[in-house]
Amino acid sequence: MPFQSLNIIAPILKAIQEEGYTIPTPIQTQSIPIILQGADLLGCAQTGTGKTAAFAIPILQLLSANKTYNKKRKIRSLIVTPTRELAIQIGESFRAYGRHTGLNCTVIFGGVNQNKQTSALQGGVDIVVATPGRLLDLMNQGYLTLREIEIFVLDEADRMLDMGFIHDVKKMLTVLPKRRQSLFFSATMPPEIIKLAGTILYKPSKVSVSPDSLTVDIIKQYIYFVDKGNKKALLVDVLKDKNIKTALVFTRTKYGADKVARNLLKHKIKAEAIHGDKSQNARQRALTNFKAQTTRVLVATDIAARGIDVDELEYVINYEIPNIAETYVHRIGRTGRAGAKGTAFSFCDAEEKTFLKDIEKLIDKKIPVIEDHPFPLMVHNPEKAPKQQQGKGNSGHSRPKPARNKKQKKWYGKPKTSRQY
């Protein structure tokens, strides 16, 4: 089914063709007609399914059909998303698909000086893509109002929950117009997300793209069983393959991402880490270098990787197996996009075998194992820590002990930290 069959107007159709797209993805085929009818939509879609175009294209068409001719444009559509990278990516998509419509879009996010963003808002914009914190900040400063919003999109709702943005979203809902069209997208649908959707949507149509129809089916996937202490050496060994021009490597924590990147640099492999502790400029610079292939390896945490969209990225490496099966699908979905080739390697130690079983159950396939490598798994059943030592964090330190007397101010051990992303 070509895009022409979805009753898309000529200016947008022309832009889609200029971008090189001819056939819509399943999420686009299902979502675009519903949104064009003005209905609310609850979408369950994973990374790499073409979700952004599924809402950007119909939003541009609906706004084009009812252009305002006031001297100053008013914000008519708001897209809220959890990360800066994803916000930038969505903004680029709106500009690409809407280049012939006369509509404009601006992106606002934290971590940078606000002057450029406020200048754009004061000049008048039709569409705003924003992260929650900066959006509320600029609202409180009086730089923008949501009173004229016609179409509201909450994207990556599950990540909003993970990152603690739900309270910010609820604040937005109190100032959004009651009469509006709302679109809600989430990769997973836990009870908290379903409850949130119920407060935003009115009699929504539901669209779901299951793992069976995902790019996961066309991505070559392989498992390396390896002891945890040998993962660094295995990664260097895998990257000896000159066919791997670039690779996106996933770790669970920010500290882990930095550590992996430093080790690669020691072995003369150009690598950079990208995560929430990096400044916005540093994150954008790392992403730009990776896209230009001046950086060979980008090491990322799951949240930071949302919004990374690199054309023809062929290799994803799970340095650590995620403990949530759906996260694995998100990760490998960064490759094999739009029918391109994709390969995903995963390093699995003994303690991660349970996570691997959950992943294989979700994708309904057995992932092939690469047996012939220099660092085979030797410790198949690692000993569990004695009960008195349980409660240790990832750092290996026990819970902090209070000082023994008032004079002794010192704490023993490092405080247990919350999980880092």
8 A C-beta contact, residue 193 and residue 160: no
Whether pTM > 0.85 for this model: the answer is no
Residue 401: beta bridge partners?
412
- What confidence category does residue 396 fall into, taking pLDDT thresholds of 50, 70 and 90? very low
Lowest mean pLDDT across 199-213, 263-277, 342-356, 375-389: 375-389
Are residues 185 and 271 located together in one domain of the fold?
no
Domain-located, residue 346: yes
pLDDT of residue 2: 81
> What's the pLDDT band for 325 if we cut at 50, 70, 90?
confident
CATH of the domain at 266: 3.40.50.300
Scanning 239-279, the segments in alpha helix (DSSP H) are 254-266
Q: Tokens for 313, please give them.
A: 């990225």
Are 95 and 53 within one domain? yes
Residues 188 and 133 in one domain: yes
> What pLDDT sits at residue 14?
95
pLDDT of residue 414: 42
Going by pLDDT thresholds of 50, 70 and 90, the confidence category of residue 311 is low
Q: Is 48's pLDDT higher than 80?
A: no
Q: Which of 183, 209, 235 is the last residue of a domain?
A: 209
Identify the pLDDT of residue 106: 97
Q: What is the mean pLDDT of residues 104-110?
A: 95
User: Could you tell me if residue 87 is inside a domain?
Assistant: yes
How many domains would you assign to the chain?
Answer: 3
**Same domain for 112 and 191?**
yes
Same domain, 193 and 225: no
Q: Which of 170, 189, 209 is where one domain is finished?
A: 209
For residue 319, give its domain range: 213-363
Long-range Cβ contacts of 139-145 (<8 Å, 24+ apart): 139/175, 143/118, 144/75, 145/75, 145/175
Alpha-carbon distance 142 to 94, whole Å?
A: 25
pLDDT tens per residue, range 338-389: 556 789 999 999 999 999 999 998 888 899 999 999 999 997 766 655 544 4
**185: in domain:** yes
User: Pick from 363, 378, 410: which residue ends a domain?
Assistant: 363
Rg (CA), the chain: 23
DSSP 20-52: T--S--HHHHHHHHHHHTT--EEEE--TTS-HH
